[in-house]
Structure 1
Amino acid sequence: MKYVKVEWNPALPGFQLDASVYLNELPRLSEDLPPGAREFATAPDHYRFRAARCVKDLELAGIHVPVGKGERLVLRFAPNEWKHEEGLCLAYEGVTHFSVASDREIDWTEVATVVLDEITPAPGGCVHEIALTDSTIVVRCADLRATWGGC
């Protein structure tokens, strides 16, 4: 991610997080984001760690990769039982890139939890990067639609 800092600190052990640079840049960046991405990125609780609609601590519950040109890429996130009242569905339109990568072997039997995310403008839309506890998801798309409560 360009602005949001997510770094593993083995001394804690845990993640050190800093979204302050991104939050300072977001008013400027949001002018160039497509409408759905702008609404999601600038939502008041998006980066309030204790808020029920903060993305931090959501649990990756499913990925629907489109097979036809008319379909959307969909990421489903389940609520963390200690924090969220409902899950989140992210539906991406006009996807030109999708990847899940990790520096280490991904354990698909374990729950991957959202650490933080960042949405930045890109030619023809935006880039959404989501840092998970064991990997990173990157989506380049025309726009996205975020729906709390499921798909």
Structure 2
Amino acid sequence: MKYILFPCEYRPYEEHLPEFVDHLPEGARLFAIDPDHYDFSAARCVKDLIIDRINYADDSETVDVEICFRFEPRSGPYPPALVIQYTDVRSLAIDVGERQPAGVRLGALALDEILPHEHGVSHELAFHAGTVLVIAKDLRATWDDSVF
């Protein structure tokens, strides 16, 4: 991560966001500036979400790879699930780390960082036991009760 140095310290990222927010694709920009994104008291904050499932689609006609993550809340009142759809994915890297509690892979989401990238957007998600990095043309984040 470039601006988030500690798993729960998002303020440096928020301070630098105005410098590059206009360079983010539309979906990524809307998700990055959502006022609940880093509000730990908000029901629609990303903190403590857990990946429920990942869908992958490879459209051979357009050579467009799409990946969709569905996140569920870890505990507490159950807000809608967070669904993030990435379009024209160029890279997906998942690192589950080496020191994990028994039965845990990535664990709960600590924070994420959305940055401009020459292909569109870089979205790095820091979990308690690993990381996910997606490079894509754009992303669309929605809070939803339905199953994809």
TM range (shorter): 0.7 to 0.9
Partner amino acid, structure 1, of 2:69? L
Aligned counterparts of 2:102 and 2:83: Cα–Cα separation in 1: 20
Structure 1: 5+ residue stretches without partners: 8-16
| Identity of matched residues, % | 35
2:47 is matched with 56
Aligned pair in 2 of structure 1 residues 80, 92: CA closer, same or farther (>3 Å)? same
Structure 1: 4+ residue segments shifted above 4 A: 105-108
- Superposition TM-score, scaled by structure 2 size: 0.86
2:10 matched to 1:19? yes
Residues 107-126 of structure 1 aligned to structure 2 (within 5 Å): 109-110=103-104, 112-126=107-121
Aligned counterparts of 2:39 and 2:18: Cα–Cα separation in 1: 17
Per-residue Cα deviation, 1:90-138 (whole angstroms, up to 9, x for no partner): 0000100001013315679437210000000011201000001111000
Aligned counterparts of 1:28 and 1:45: Cα–Cα separation in 2: 20
Displacement of 1:82 after TM fit? 1.3
Structure 2: 5+ residue stretches without partners: none
Displacement of 1:81 after TM fit? 2.7
Aligned pair in 2 of structure 1 residues 73, 107: CA closer, same or farther (>3 Å)? farther
Per-residue Cα deviation, 1:40-78 (whole angstroms, up to 9, x for no partner): 010001011111111001111111233434451011101
SS in 1 for 2:23: coil
- Superposition TM-score, scaled by structure 1 size: 0.85
2:36 matched to 1:42? no
Aligned pair in 2 of structure 1 residues 28, 132: CA closer, same or farther (>3 Å)? same
